[in-house]
Each structure stands twice: as structure tokens, then as C-alpha cells.
């Protein structure tokens, strides 16, 4: 019986090992911001959508150039003339002057088969449509670049938020030990009769505040990790391990970086170009079009139903034609469409001008904010360390009975406030830094 149980345990372990290995293999490990950004750019699901859209735009461009090549088609038609047309014919033709005869010309059944070839010689609208299709490729590629910029900003923001939350959890772990020791000490003094229940309750309130901060930081870390997984295109069950630690000393010593070009402006600029081509395409509707057509085929006429493939059953029917189409009046439709396209071009130019002006202002503000947040982080970091030193001194004084619990609780609350201020300033600084990183 023991051998059977041992065998079952061994067999279960054999099946469990691949599952454990699979779980370990599903964990994504990244060691730097550059690495996680690189992964996101390569694996983000929206990136795959943009690649397909670019492919689609290229096929549309190739399709729009079809007017360059001749079009050929083969066809067969059969006609049953149910009632042939009657044509009045002068009787002189058959020796009956001063009379008119009603004569039917043609055959009851007519068959045509052949190849029709057509070639556009001049069609400026088709040329403009091809240019529009070509510029749509460029527009889609620029939209992808703008999305990559936004993607880098989102990745950097979630990455920094996760690091801040992880750093906060490390600090809170120390706060939790400190708060727990104060609660224990206060309860001991209550039992000794040297303090009251209010002091015990206050120490427990402070400890509960630490637990709440811990839960909020953990929630912030979890949300950042899950959002990063979405941007990385990872599966819901996979893990994400950030091995980098937030180096605050090097962070506060960073100079204000230069901001690169805003790639979203390229999209606005390309939309202006497209609107110009669309206006020119609409204007070309008033231009003449020239096309050549050729037909090479055979005909067969029959009085009775049927079809013959014998000698002399078919007669050749070939022709070559040249067509010139000049629009004269279209009910002001083309004129109004052209004016509408000009208005669309003006709208695109205004949007680009407004976006460029707003981007320039935001860039200047971004640099100023980064410098201001940098000063705030340095100041709040110094204050946080000083409050921490004071808390240690007040804790020693409280243990020795030099100060009251109220004074120590006040120092502890000041320390927690300084901690929150420091972490919030870090978040503001790194959020601004995320935008700058996306522009590099």
C-alpha cells in the first residue's frame, strides 16, 4: 500500500514539474527602463495593427496606379431580336416607283465575342488619387511614430510608478515595525499605569494609517504592473519582475534634459499635405479626360436559334476609338466640392498651427516643471531625512520618559506627512521625466 502511495506521489510530481517550469518561463524579467520600452515597441498589440494598416495602405497605393496599365476584358453576348425594327424604303429601289415599302433589316439572332482593350491617356484625377494613396502610406507611418512616442511615455510612467511604489513599500515596512513597537510600548505603559487608554488608541490609529498607506502603495504597484503587461502584450497569467531599484540619489542629481521633436506634429503636417492633394484632385474633375479603346472580335447572325463554329460562320468585327470627355456643366457639384476641399485644407492648416503653438508652450512648461519638481524632490528628500532623524531622537526620549506620548505622536505624524510629500514629489518628477523620455 505504501508503494502504491509513493508511486502516485512521484507521478503527480512528474506532472507538476512541467507546470512549475511553465509558470517560471511565463515571468517576464526586465532590468531597466530601456529594456521595457524596447519590449513594448516590439510586442505591443497596437503596433501589429499599425503594421497591417501600413501594408493595407501600400496595397491601396498599388491599386490606385492601375490606370497606368491597359485594361483588357473578354466577353460574349447573344441577342434575341424579338421584333426587328421596320424601316420605310422607297419603292424605286425594287422597281415600284411612287410607293413606300416597310422592310425589316437584320437577323433574328446576333452573337458577338471578342476582347476589349482600353487605355487611359490623360486622367489627372487618377494621378491625384495615386498621390493621395501614396501620402496615406506616409500618414499611417507618422501615426505609428506618434503612437510609439505615446507608448514610450505610458511605459515610462507606469515603470516609474511601480518603482516608486516598490520603494514606498520598503519604507513603509520600516514604518510598520516602528509603529508596532510604539503600540507595544504604549500598552506596556498602560498596564503599568503611566499612561491612559487615549494614548493607546492614538498609537493604534497611527499604526492603522501605516497599514492603509501600505495597502495603497501595494495597489499602486499592482496596477502599474498590470498596465505594463497590457502595453507589453503579455498574457494575463504571466508575471512581470522589475529588478531595478529606484536610485534617488542619482535621480535628484540629473540635469534638465533637452526635449526632442513632438512626433504628433508630423501627423498634422501630413494631414495638411493630404488636404492639398485632395483639393487638387477635386479641381481636376473639371479637366478633360482622354482614353483609347480597341475591340477585336467576331460576329454571327442567324435567323434561327443556335450557334455554329464552322467555316465562314463568323465575321470579323474590329474597331479602334479615341474618346475625349470635357465636363461643361455638372450642376455646380464639382465647384462646390472643390470649395469644400479648400475649406478642409484651411481647417487642417489651422489645426496644425494650433497644435504647433500648443506643443511649443507645453514644451517650455515641461522644462520648467521638471526643474521645479527637481528642486521640490531635493527639498522634500532633505526634510524627510530630517524628520526621520528627529523621530529616532523623539523615540529615544519617549522611551526614557523625557517627552510625552503626545509629543512623540506629533513627531511620528510629521514624519509620515513628510514621507507622503516626498513620494508625491517623486511621482510628479518622474511623470514629467516620462514625457521627456518619450521625446528622445
Domains and CATH numbers, the chain: 28-69+123-287+331-438 (1.20.1600.10)
Residue 282 has a CB neighbour count (10 Å cut-off) of 21
- Angle at which helix 124-192 crosses helix 197-232, to 10 degrees, equals 160
Cα-based angle 137, 62, 71 (whole degrees, multiple of 5): 155
Cα-based angle 377, 382, 388 (whole degrees, multiple of 5): 120
Q: Would strands 86-90 and 239-242 be described as parallel, antiparallel, or unpaired? A: unpaired
Tell me the three-class secondary structure of the chain, residue by residue: CHHHHHHHHHHHHHHHHHHHHHHHHCEEEECCHHHHHHHHHHHCHHHHHHHHHHHHHHHHHHHHHHHHCCEEEEEEEEEECCCCCEEEEEHHHHCCCCCEEEEECCCCEEEEEEEEEEEEEECHHHHHHHHHHHHHHHHHHHHHHHHHHHHHHHHHHHHHHHHHHHHHHHHHHHHHHHHHHHHHHHHHHHHHCCCCHHHHHHHHHHHHHHHHHHHHHHHHHHHHHHHHHHHHCCCCCCEEEECCCCCHHHHCCCCCCCCCCCCHHHHHHHHHHHHHHHHHHHHHHHCCEEEEEEEEEEEEEECCCCCCCCCCCCEEEEEEEEEEECCCCCCCHHHHHHHHHHHHHHHHHHHHHHHHHHHHHHHHHHHHHHHHHHHHHHHHHHHHHHHHHHHHHHHHHHHHCCCCHHHHHHHHHHHHHHHHHHHHHHHHHHHHHHHHHHCC
For 244, half-sphere exposure in the C-beta direction (CA atoms, 13 angstrom radius) is: 16
User: Model pTM greater than 0.85?
Assistant: no
**pLDDT 10s per residue in the chain (440 long)?**
443 444 444 444 444 444 444 444 488 898 888 999 999 999 999 999 999 999 999 999 999 999 999 999 999 999 988 888 888 888 777 777 888 887 777 788 999 999 999 999 999 999 999 999 999 999 999 999 999 999 999 999 999 999 999 989 998 998 999 889 888 888 888 888 877 888 889 889 889 989 999 999 999 999 999 999 999 999 888 899 998 887 766 555 555 667 889 999 999 999 999 999 999 999 999 999 999 999 999 999 888 888 888 878 889 999 999 999 999 988 788 889 999 999 999 999 999 999 999 999 999 999 999 989 999 998 999 999 999 999 889 888 888 888 887 888 888 889 989 999 999 999 999 999 999 999 98
Q: CA-CA distance, 122 to 287, in Å (whole number)? A: 9
Q: Which pLDDT belongs to residue 256?
A: 60
- What pLDDT digit, counting tens, does each position of 9-67 carry? 444 444 444 444 444 448 889 888 899 999 999 999 999 999 999 999 999 999 999 99
Q: Which pLDDT belongs to residue 395?
A: 85
For residue 323 the three cell numbers come to: 474618346
Residue 152, CA distances (Å) to 10, 27, 256, 326, 394 in order? 48, 22, 19, 53, 45
Q: Give phi and psi for 406, each to the nearest 5.
A: -60, -40
Q: Which pLDDT belongs to residue 4?
A: 41
Q: Which pLDDT belongs to residue 71?
A: 93
Q: Which pLDDT belongs to residue 418?
A: 93
Amino acid at each position: 500500500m505504501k508503494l502504491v502511495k509513493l508511486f502516485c506521489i512521484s507521478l503527480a510530481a512528474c506532472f507538476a514539474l512541467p507546470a512549475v517550469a511553465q509558470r517560471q518561463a511565463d515571468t517576464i524579467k526586465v532590468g531597466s527602463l530601456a529594456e521595457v520600452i524596447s519590449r513594448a515597441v516590439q510586442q505591443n498589440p497596437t503596433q501589429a495593427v499599425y503594421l497591417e494598416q501600413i501594408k493595407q495602405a501600400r496595397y491601396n497605393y498599388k491599386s490606385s496606379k492601375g490606370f497606368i496599365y491597359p485594361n483588357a476584358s473578354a466577353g460574349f453576348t447573344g441577342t434575341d431580336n424579338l421584333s426587328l425594327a421596320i424601316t420605310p424604303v422607297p419603292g424605286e429601289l425594287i422597281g415600284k416607283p411612287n410607293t413606300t415599302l416597310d422592310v425589316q433589316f437584320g437577323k433574328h439572332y446576333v452573337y458577338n465575342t471578342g476582347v476589349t482593350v482600353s487605355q487611359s491617356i490623360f486622367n489627372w484625377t487618377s494621378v491625384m488619387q495615386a498621390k493621395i494613396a501614396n501620402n496615406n502610406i506616409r500618414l499611417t507611418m507618422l501615426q505609428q511614430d506618434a503612437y510609439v512616442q505615446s507608448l514610450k511615455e505610458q511605459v515610462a510612467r507606469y515603470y516609474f510608478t511601480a518603482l516608486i511604489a516598490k520603494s514606498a513599500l520598503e519604507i513603509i515596512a520600516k514604518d510598520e515595525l516602528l509603529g508596532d513597537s510604539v503600540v507595544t510600548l504604549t500598552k506596556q505603559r498602560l498596564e503599568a499605569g503611566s499612561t491612559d487608554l487615549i494614548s493607546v488608541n492614538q498609537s493604534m490609529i497611527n499604526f492603522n494609517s501605516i497599514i492603509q498607506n501600505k495597502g495603497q502603495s501595494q495597489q499602486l504597484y499592482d496596477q502599474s504592473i498590470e498596465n505594463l503587461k497590457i502595453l507589453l502584450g503579455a498574457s494575463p497569467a504571466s508575471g512581470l519582475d522589475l529588478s531595478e531599484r529606484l536610485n534617488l540619489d542619482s535621480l535628484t542629481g540629473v540635469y534638465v534634459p533637452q526635449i526632442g521633436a513632438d512626433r504628433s506634429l508630423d501627423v498634422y503636417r501630413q494631414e495638411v499635405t493630404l488636404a492639398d492633394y485632395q483639393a487638387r484632385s477635386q479641381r481636376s474633375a473639371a479637366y478633360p479626360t482622354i482614353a483609347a479603346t480597341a475591340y477585336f472580335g467576331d460576329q454571327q447572325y442567324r435567323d434561327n436559334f443556335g450557334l455554329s463554329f464552322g467555316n465562314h460562320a463568323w465575321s470579323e468585327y474590329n474597331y479602334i476609338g479615341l474618346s475625349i470627355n470635357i465636363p461643361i456643366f455638372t450642376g455646380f457639384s464639382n465647384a462646390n466640392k472643390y470649395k469644400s476641399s479648400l475649406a478642409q485644407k484651411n481647417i487642417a492648416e489651422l489645426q496644425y498651427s494650433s497644435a504647433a503653438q500648443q506643443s511649443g508652450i507645453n514644451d517650455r512648461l515641461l522644462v520648467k516643471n521638471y526643474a521645479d519638481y527637481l528642486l521640490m524632490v531635493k527639498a522634500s528628500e532633505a526634510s524627510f531625512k530630517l524628520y526621520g532623524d528627529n523621530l529616532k531622537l523623539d523615540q529615544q526620549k519617549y522611551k526614557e520618559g523625557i517627552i510625552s506620548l503626545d509629543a512623540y505622536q506629533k513627531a511620528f505624524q510629521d514624519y509620515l506627512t513628510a514621507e507622503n510629500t516626498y513620494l508625491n514629489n517623486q511621482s510628479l518628477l518622474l511623470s514629467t521625466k516620462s514625457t521627456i523620455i518619450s521625446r528622445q
